[in-house]
């Protein structure tokens, strides 16, 4: 039987190796990949793209009419970054000249927990869409966390980092972007924007004061009236002052908000390192005042103050530059000298003063409005974030789940360590067993998506050949914890610790099998000779899946679907109909033959069963009578892992402890039952026996008469 099976395995591997297509080795040209649908998703603003003829990272230049606005690139061309699988994915993304992501589209991947998974694929699309506007730098703020794509966080994290890192490489090569070691105002990048867009973007702040606001401010200050030249016009809801203000040094704010002539005058007339603040207004009130034209008042702008911390900045006419672009009819740049102590990276406040008459007729100042401004982070160049290794981020973000799993593994260790005591109570064993399996299915499988599978084994085996370092092995915290625990328990106790206690799909099968027995569904187990042949199925499937992964990754990705774990556990049946039907058929078979899939087909089970031969300790107890003459445990084993000789075949055992419950049950185990009966006989002989009826008659008889 083994000869034909091995020959079949070798034939499948050979054919797959010949027929496999490798998109990642010979992808279509980038221009061919940029279909109208892809461009609409990646760089909707662009009207055309052209190849970039230089030696830098491969990219296409994106134009709006004749204006270069950014670049489009492929992570496969620029980085060849892999995700959780060892195969590089292909994500096409766009980046503006200002260093912002415009969109991304996944064209190709072999990520095992995203393939043919409509639910997770939809989450991935949302995850990548949320990156729009993020700064092109790994560690940049914004978007959704990788945990948003639940169950495929490693893939999501790798794709996010590849997009950000690729955009950074493409842009830096072609713009000569300044490399900074500390946060610095972006004085290089420019993007055309209207006044309304600047306000919506946050580069320009806006504060409106109505006539009603003016009256309230005067009342709070205890003032009676305004000078005629600044009397409000219209009703209470009309605008008295509509002030727009911001930091004008970033070109996107300064050029769009004040115009090139104003910035040119700043460059020629003021010292290098000066700061320009942009102010513009609508309404009846002029924020500059009237005294700045009057020598007797030292040309002061008496209505405007800027403060930052404990510093207060006031201005004179020489600090003004007229702005030609119109955020408002009144528009100026107001300049602070380089040694003013002003820090554009910190928030600052604007106070607009007004002067009203007191009851004695004298003018007194009051605050008409006060507002804060903070330069948005998109106008700040930041040094590369020291985010640490990617795997550290995953461990840091998932500490709660790690704590829960650690507690569960400790509980399982105690169960296995004290199995003899637990097995003495059939009820306690049943409660513990079903309770732990429920936890494994619901929390470990459906909530945490920590289903160890043959995919993990393949990736661990292939990592050294792909040049992956230690970080690859540490990338998925819960899987790492389960893998380490499985490896240790495999060496110590055998395959059954994982397969019997920590496999969510195995737990689902066993819980359904318990339901089937409660419903009294008929149960079938193959005869011993047939069962031995069926056991070989899992070894063949393991050989085919692992072999294909090395010689034909594309075919291997298909072969991995022999595991229903992704469908039934991590995707919770939210997949295409053929996958759901396949998983349901396997579960249906398991209703009549317990854990049929685990016993006869599971490639992960086959891989673990091969290594089971290494286990060092046998905790499952046996007696000389086991197998001859007693066959109680053999018949009670739900997966028939006990041979007629009484020996437990550990490679097929799931460590459910059912045999140990029988082993300690002195009402069912024949050797124990015999000992119990012998003990009862001895106790019966040791206790005197009195005929109760005769004793009672003697006590109740009249004197002198026999009873």
**Is residue 75 within 8 Å of residue 82, measured between CB atoms?**
no
Euclidean distance between CA atoms 203 and 440, whole angstroms:
51
Euclidean distance between CA atoms 602 and 584, whole angstroms:
15
Q: Which two tokens stand for residue 20?
A: 């496999």
pLDDT at residue 460 in the model: 85
Q: Hunting for tokens 């713009």 — which residue is that?
A: 175
- Tell me: pLDDT of 420 over 70: yes
Q: Which of the residue ranges 143-147, 270-274, 308-312 would you say has the lowest mean pLDDT?
A: 143-147
pLDDT at residue 19 in the model: 43
**Is residue 60 within 8 Å of residue 49, measured between CB atoms?**
yes
Name the DSSP letter for residue 418.
Answer: T
**pLDDT tens per residue, range 168-206:** 889 888 876 556 678 889 887 777 788 899 999 999 999
- Higher-scoring residue by pLDDT: 36, 142: 36
Euclidean distance between CA atoms 241 and 114, whole angstroms:
55
**pLDDT tens per residue, range 562-608:** 999 989 998 889 888 999 999 999 999 999 999 999 999 999 999 99
**pLDDT tens per residue, range 647-698:** 999 999 999 999 999 999 988 998 888 888 888 888 877 666 555 554 444 4
Q: Which residues is 354 bridged to in the sheet?
A: 366
pLDDT at residue 707 in the model: 37
First to last CA, the chain: 84
Do β-strands 275-282 and 239-247 pair in parallel, antiparallel, or remain unpaired? antiparallel
- Tell me: pLDDT of 490 over 60: yes
**pLDDT tens per residue, range 435-459:** 999 999 999 999 998 999 998 888 8
Q: Which residues is 208 bridged to in the sheet?
A: 242
DSSP state string for 443-502: IIIIIT-----HHHHHHHHHHHHHT--HHHHTSSHHHHHHHHHHHHHHHHT-THHIIIII
- Tell me: pLDDT of 117 over 90: no
- Tell me: pLDDT of 11 over 50: no
Q: Where are the beta strands (DSSP E) in 178-323?
A: 184-185, 205-210, 239-247, 275-282, 304-308, 311-313, 320-322
Helices 153-175 and 390-397 pack at an angle, to 10 degrees, of: 140
Euclidean distance between CA atoms 360 and 634, whole angstroms:
108
**pLDDT tens per residue, range 15-32:** 444 444 567 667 889 999
């Amino acid at each position: 039987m083994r000869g034909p099976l091995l020959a079949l395995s070798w034939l499948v591997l050979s054919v797959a190796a010949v027929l496999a297509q490798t998109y990642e080795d010979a992808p279509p040209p980038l221009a061919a990949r940029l279909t109208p649908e892809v461009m609409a998703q990646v760089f909707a603003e662009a009207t055309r793209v052209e190849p970039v003829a230089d030696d830098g990272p491969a990219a296409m230049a994106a134009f709006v009419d004749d204006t270069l606005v950014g670049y489009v690139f492929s992570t496969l061309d620029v980085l060849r970054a892999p995700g959780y699988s060892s195969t590089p994915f292909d994500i096409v993304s766009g980046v503006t000249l200002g260093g912002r992501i415009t969109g991304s589209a996944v064209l190709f991947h072999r990520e095992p927990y995203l393939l043919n998974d409509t639910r997770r694929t939809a989450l991935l699309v949302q995850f990548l869409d949320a990156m729009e506007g993020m700064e092109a730098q790994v560690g940049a703020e914004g978007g959704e966390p990788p945990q948003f794509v639940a169950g495929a966080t490693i893939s999501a994290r790798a794709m996010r980092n590849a997009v950000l890192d690729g955009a950074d490489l493409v842009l830096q090569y072609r713009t000569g972007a300044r490399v900074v070691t500390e946060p610095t105002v972006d004085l290089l990048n420019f993007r055309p924007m209207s006044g309304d867009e600047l306000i919506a973007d946050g580069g320009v702040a806006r504060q409106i004061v109505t006539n009603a606001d003016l009256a309230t401010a005067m009342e709070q200050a205890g003032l009676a009236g305004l000078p005629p030249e600044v009397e409000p016009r219209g009703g209470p809801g009309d605008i008295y002052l509509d002030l727009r203000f911001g930091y004008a040094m970033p070109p996107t704010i300064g050029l769009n908000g004040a115009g090139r002539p104003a910035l040119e005058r700043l460059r020629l007339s003021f010292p290098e390192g000066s700061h320009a603040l942009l102010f513009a207004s609508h309404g009846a009130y002029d924020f500059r005042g009237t005294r700045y034209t009057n020598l007797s008042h030292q040309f002061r702008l008496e209505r405007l103050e800027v403060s930052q911390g404990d510093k207060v900045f006031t201005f004179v006419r020489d600090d003004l530059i007229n702005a030609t672009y119109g955020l408002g009819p009144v528009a100026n740049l107001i300049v602070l000298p380089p040694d003013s102590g002003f820090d554009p990276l910190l928030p600052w406040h604007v106070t607009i003063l007004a002067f009203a008459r007191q009851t004695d007729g004298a003018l007194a100042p009051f605050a008409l409005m006060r507002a804060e401004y903070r330069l948005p982070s998109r106008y700040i160049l930041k040094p590369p974030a020291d985010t640490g290794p990617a795997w550290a981020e995953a461990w840091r973000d998932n500490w709660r789940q790690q704590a829960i799993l650690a507690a569960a593994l400790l509980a399982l260790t105690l169960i296995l360590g004290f199995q003899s005591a637990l097995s003495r109570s059939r009820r306690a064993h049943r409660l513990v067993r079903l309770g732990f399996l429920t936890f494994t299915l619901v929390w470990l499988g459906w909530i945490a998506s920590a289903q160890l599978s043959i995919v993990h084994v393949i990736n661990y085996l292939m990592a050294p050949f792909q040049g992956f370092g230690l970080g690859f092995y540490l990338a998925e915290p819960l899987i790492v914890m389960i893998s380490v625990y499985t490896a240790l328990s495999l060496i110590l106790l055998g395959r059954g610790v994982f397969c019997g206690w920590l496999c969510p799909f195995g737990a689902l099968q066993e819980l359904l099998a318990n339901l089937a027995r409660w419903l009294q569904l008929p149960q079938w187990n193959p005869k011993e000779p047939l069962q031995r042949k069926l056991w070989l199925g899992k070894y063949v499937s393991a050989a085919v899946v692992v072999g294909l992964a090395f010689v034909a990754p594309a075919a291997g990705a298909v072969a991995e679907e022999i595991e229903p774990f992704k469908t039934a556990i991590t995707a919770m049946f939210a997949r295409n109909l053929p996958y759901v039907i396949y998983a349901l058929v396997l579960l249906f078979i398991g209703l009549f033959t317990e854990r049929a899939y685990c016993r006869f087909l599971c490639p992960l089970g086959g891989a673990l069963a091969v290594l089971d031969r290494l286990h060092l300790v046998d905790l499952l107890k046996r007696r000389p009578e086991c197998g001859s003459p007693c066959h109680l445990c053999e018949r009670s084993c739900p997966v028939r892992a006990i041979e007629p000789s009484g020996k437990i075949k550990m490679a097929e055992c799931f460590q459910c402890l059912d045999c140990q419950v029988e082993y300690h049950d002195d009402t069912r185990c024949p050797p124990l039952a015999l000992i119990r009966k012998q003990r009862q006989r001895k106790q019966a002989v040791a206790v005197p026996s009195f005929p109760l009826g005769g004793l009672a008659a003697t006590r109740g008889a009249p004197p002198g008469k026999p009873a």
